[in-house]
Amino acid sequence: MLRPLLKTPATFIALLFVGLPLFAQLPTPAPLATPGPLPIFTPLPTPPPLTLPDASPTPTPTPSPTPTPLPDGSMLLPIPAMPTPVPLPDAQTLSEQLIIPTPPQISEPLAQTPETNTLKESEDLAMKQRMAQADFVKALDALIAKKRNPAVADMSIDEAVRIALKQNPTILNAAQQIRLTQGQFVTVRAQIIPQANVSSAYNQQAVDLASNGFGRRGDIQNKSWNIQFTASQLLYDGGAAIGGIRAARAVENNAYFSLRSTIDSIISQVKINFFQVVLNRALIVAQEESVALLAEQLKDQQNRYEAGTVPRFNVLQAEVALANAKPPLIQAENNYRVSLYQLVQLLGTDYPAGRPSEVPFNIVGNLAYTPRKIDTDQSIRVAVARNPALKAQRQSILAQAANVDVQFAGFLPQINAQAGYQINNSLATQSLTSTVEGWFFGATGSWAVWDGLATAGNVQQARAQLDQARINYDNGVRQVILDVQQAISNLQQASETIDSQTASVVQAAEALRLSRERLDAGAGTQLDVLNAQVQLLQSQTFVLQARYDYIQATAQYDQALSLDTNYQDTFDDPLNRSQSKRFNKLNEPGRPQAPLPRSMRATDPIKPILEATPTPKPAKKKSGVNK
């Protein structure tokens, strides 16, 4: 078929130029590259060599006929033979040959959050927690030993509370307020007690004045003297004296309840400040370890930079992180010192003579976690029944109600009676020894018929003060309920935080162990170990803060419910025997609160709280046809 086309040289050349480019564009199969090892922690086994299936035998080419020479005698150029394509394996075969075996993974059994409660009850978790805290506790013990002053005594929380009860200036002032109000009561009560009085007088004047121009000069007595014994008694004053006595007694009771409230407040503050010192001391250790870890990280990055594996930026970043970690450490040291000074002032303790900057005690204690089971409704009932601040406000209502009666008595008359015995010298003779004596009695009365509405203004003021006392008491009940609810909510938050962060400490400790094992095996880096240590330290810090928050909320809860009566027996130094007896009697835990004035009893805000909610009666079924 080609002979007719190849008869002329022009046709042959044209075919040659068309065939060569097509031959050059034919694809040439490239050999498959052997995959190299992947960058993983353990060396991978060398994959088996890729074997291709045997190519099918090439058939023997049929000898082409001898080409016919051209008219000019030259022979045609032979057409190059097309290469035989090599059959490639299918996709399934190639995929099976390229499968790389997966290296074995190290199992990391970490505690999961949903399983926290279950793991916490196990001994394994408890042991892990102790192991996780072991290094931190060692560092804390070392810091305590370093800061301990052997020249002063150690002090626990119970000793701190007892010292505060005897020396705290706020408590001492509250005790003196009892003496003040007790004196006021005695003064007011004296109005209804008979008054006895002895009086005497001596008088001498000129004879002319004594005679007034009458009589002989030698017969006039110009000297006089007398002795008088008088007793007086208030008969009626419109109830002002009785009202004043009731008001004074209520004010005195208010002082006793205020002292109890002050004691509860100081005990709560001592607990909070005491454990604030413990927390600040532990945070110093946390910040010191943080600085130490960042210093190790900086050293690791410097070594890597010198080896040429990391850029200079990593070293600068590590230096900045280390520099930023030092201010929190300085602040932690300052917080520790300031909290100690505040505790000294709260306890009312003096500094050693000649050493006014030396703290006079060493704090001994730790952030122990003792969970409580609390019923919110029952806690509120106990708080409104026992809270001494509410009892003090209730006495203020009684005092203002009595003051209304005192002011209203200004509209009524006042009657007084008096009697006595009097001895005078006789004016009939000039002898001073000649006397005249005898008894006397009488009564006096007064009634302010019109005083320019002064009494009406006083009554209006007293009633306004009574309403203010009632409003303050109602708000005080709400405040106590709020204090209880906040304390319980803070307890719940701190408890949940402790549970979650305790599990986080275990997980962080496990992560630190695995990072160290990887580093020892050559599969990890020092940076991984440092990061794991930072995470563990952060979790430990969160646990410490949560434990302090739980202690603080517990102190506030005890204050709201007045549960620190175990310290009441130790408080007797500022009071005498009768005052101490009355203080203990009024502040008995089971003693009910005093009744309000009759006009306010129906709206007593604590009445619906203390009363049990009645069980609703089942509705009666109606029988018959509905009309």
Q: pLDDT tens digit string along 138-170? A: 888 888 888 888 989 999 999 999 999 999 999
What pLDDT score does 66 carry? 52
Please report, for residues 261, 379, 551, 567, 578, the alpha-carbon distance to residue 563 in angstroms, rounded to integers and kept in the order given. Answer: 11, 11, 15, 10, 24
Confidence check: pLDDT of 322 > 80:
yes
Please say whether the beta carbons of 203 and 223 come within 8 A: yes
Range 320-335 average pLDDT: 92
132 or 362: which leads in pLDDT: 362
Confidence check: pLDDT of 443 > 90:
yes
Q: Helix, strand, or coil here: 68?
A: coil
What pLDDT score does 93 carry? 43
Task: Of 49-63, 269-283, 292-306, 482-496, give the lowest mean pLDDT range.
Answer: 49-63
Which residues, at least 6 apart from 66, have a Cβ–Cβ distance to it below 8 Å?
A: none
User: How many alpha carbons fall within 13 Å on the CB side of residue 302?
Assistant: 8
Please report, for residues 116, 196, 477, 583, the alpha-carbon distance to residue 382 in angstroms, rounded to integers and kept in the order given. Answer: 33, 50, 12, 20
Tell me which DSSP letter residue 623 carries: -
Q: Nearest 5°: phi and psi at 236?
A: -160, 135
Confidence check: pLDDT of 621 > 90:
no
For the stretch 510-551, pLDDT in tens is 888 888 788 778 787 777 877 887 888 888 888 889 999 999
Confidence check: pLDDT of 102 > 80:
no
Task: Of 71-75, 283-287, 410-414, 603-607, give the lowest mean pLDDT range.
Answer: 71-75
What pLDDT score does 514 carry? 87
Domains in the chain: boundaries: 133-193+239-411+453-610, 195-236+413-446
Of the pLDDT bands very low, low, confident and very high (cuts 50, 70, 90), residue 571 is: low
Tokens of 7: 């008869």
Q: Distance between CA 627 and CA 620 in Å, rounded?
A: 17
Q: Nearest 5°: phi and psi at 48?
A: -65, 150
What pLDDT score does 309 carry? 83
Report which secondary-structure segment, H or E, holds 472.
helix 454-521
Q: What one-letter code names the amino acid at 177?
A: Q
DSSP secondary structure, 196-262, as one string? EEEEEEEEE--HHHHHTT-S-GGG---EEEEEEEEEEEEEESTTHHHHHHHHHHHHHHHHHHHHHHH
Strand order in the sheet with 223-236: 195-204, 223-236, 414-425, 435-446
Confidence check: pLDDT of 313 > 70:
yes
Q: Helix, strand, or coil here: 367?
A: coil
Instruction: Please write down the long-range contacts of 504-507, taking CB distance under 8 Å and 24 or more positions apart.
Output: 504/539, 504/542, 505/129, 505/132, 505/133, 505/536, 505/539, 505/540, 505/543, 506/111, 506/119, 506/125, 506/128, 506/129, 506/132, 507/110, 507/111, 507/539
What pLDDT score does 624 carry? 46
Tell me which DSSP letter residue 430 carries: S
Confidence check: pLDDT of 500 > 50:
yes
For the stretch 103-113, pLDDT in tens is 333 333 334 44
Confidence check: pLDDT of 121 > 60:
no
What pLDDT score does 131 carry? 54
133-193+239-411+453-610 CATH pick, 1.10.10.10, 1.20.1600.10, 3.40.50.300, 2.20.28.120: 1.20.1600.10
Tokens of 178: 């009892």
What pLDDT score does 42 carry? 40
User: How many alpha carbons fall within 13 Å on the CB side of residue 567?
Assistant: 26
Please say whether the beta carbons of 331 and 246 come within 8 A: no
What pLDDT score does 133 carry? 58
Same fold, 133-193+239-411+453-610 and 195-236+413-446: no
58 or 136: which leads in pLDDT: 136
Range 442-462 average pLDDT: 95
For the stretch 65-92, pLDDT in tens is 455 554 445 454 444 444 444 444 443 4
What pLDDT score does 301 carry? 84
Instruction: Report the percent of the chain where pLDDT is more than 90.
Output: 47
Nearest C-alpha neighbor of 336 from the set 277, 285, 291, 275? 277
Of the pLDDT bands very low, low, confident and very high (cuts 50, 70, 90), residue 407 is: very high
pTM for this predicted structure: 0.72
Confidence check: pLDDT of 35 > 60:
no
Sign of CA dihedral 555, 556, 558, 564: positive
For the stretch 506-521, pLDDT in tens is 888 888 888 878 877 8
Of the pLDDT bands very low, low, confident and very high (cuts 50, 70, 90), residue 318 is: confident
Please report, for residues 32, 39, 100, 102, the alpha-carbon distance to residue 36 in angstroms, rounded to integers and kept in the order given. Answer: 12, 10, 11, 15
Confidence check: pLDDT of 38 > 60:
no
- Protein fold of 195-236+413-446: Outer membrane efflux proteins (OEP) (2.20.200)
What mean pLDDT is reported for the chain?
79
